[in-house]
Amino acid sequence: MDHRPAFRVQPLSAELNLRPSPEALRVSQACHGKGSSEVWKVKTPEKVREEAKARVQEGGGDPTCSRLVLSESQLQFGQYRGQTFNWLLSNDLGYTVGLLASHRKERESGDTSVSPLMVNKDALASYAKLFSGVMAAVEGRCATEGSASPRSQDQSVVVFGKHIGQTYASLYESTDTECQTYLLWLKKQRVKPGCAMYSLQSYVMGRDREKVAAAARSSQSAVSAEPSDEMLLAGAMEVDTHTFNG
């Protein structure tokens, strides 16, 4: 039994393939098809480790090997919840890289939460650190995204309330009335900086600002495309001149 994922690589460059596999697309579509109403009970870190050890033992591995136990640990949130870390790195490395980059920002910003979901993300980060290629991709993603854009937190996961387990992006982009009502409520709250709710609130308000900015740019482009009064007057005078000369 091997703790290493079955990494997929680009055929010509031999670089890690960050695109989801056909299996990942199937799992993701099945998850989204269930809708946000499905109740997912987040397991405690102890339960996750216990079940991972059982899978290692069933596979003929050593349940005392921390690497094997990490590889068989299950993700507790998002579109791939219930899949093992090994499966995740084997089937959608791009999603994993985005998630780990977002998680790093959460921890670096001072989030010291020890909730089951955060501990689960910590465990995934520990597993990913076993592979230099994965960490290089995470470093690259962090450098590219920076901290200015809220979209860098798209794959952050809600760790409180009734929407626990959903990514920030899936919650924000949901057309469900209850989700939109919750976001309106969230934006009105006075929240202490550094907590999980503050992180989500900042993301939502940042996405709102992006929408307003995009609408303004679109409006400006439309105005720019319309002829000015001076252009219309010049055109009318040119028509009059041609008519008179004719």
Q: From first to last of the 246 residues of the chain, give the pLDDT tens digit.
A: 899 999 999 887 778 998 999 999 999 888 876 654 456 789 999 999 999 999 999 999 999 999 999 999 999 988 899 999 999 999 999 999 989 988 988 888 888 889 999 999 999 999 999 999 999 888 888 776 654 567 777 888 887 788 888 888 999 999 999 999 999 999 999 876 556 787 788 889 889 988 888 888 877 766 655 565 665 565 555 545 444 455
Number of structural domains the chain divides into: 2
* Residue 12 belongs to a domain: no
| 36 plus 134 within the same structural domain | yes
| 27 plus 145 within the same structural domain | yes
| 136 plus 26 within the same structural domain | yes
* Residue 160 belongs to a domain: no
| 26 plus 97 within the same structural domain | yes
Host domain of residue 102: 22-149
| 143 plus 27 within the same structural domain | yes
| 35 plus 117 within the same structural domain | yes
| 81 plus 196 within the same structural domain | no
* Residue 2 belongs to a domain: no
Question: What pLDDT does residue 25 have?
Answer: 92
Q: Rounded to whole angstroms, what are the CA distances from 87 to 6, 52, 73, 98? A: 8, 13, 10, 16
| 54 plus 141 within the same structural domain | yes
* Residue 169 belongs to a domain: no
Answer whether 198's CB lies under 8 Å from 179's CB: no
- 3-state SS assignment for residue 208: helix
* DSSP states along 30-44: HHHHT-TT----PPP
| 33 plus 139 within the same structural domain | yes
* Residue 196 belongs to a domain: yes
Question: What pLDDT does residue 176 have?
Answer: 92
Question: What pLDDT does residue 243 have?
Answer: 45
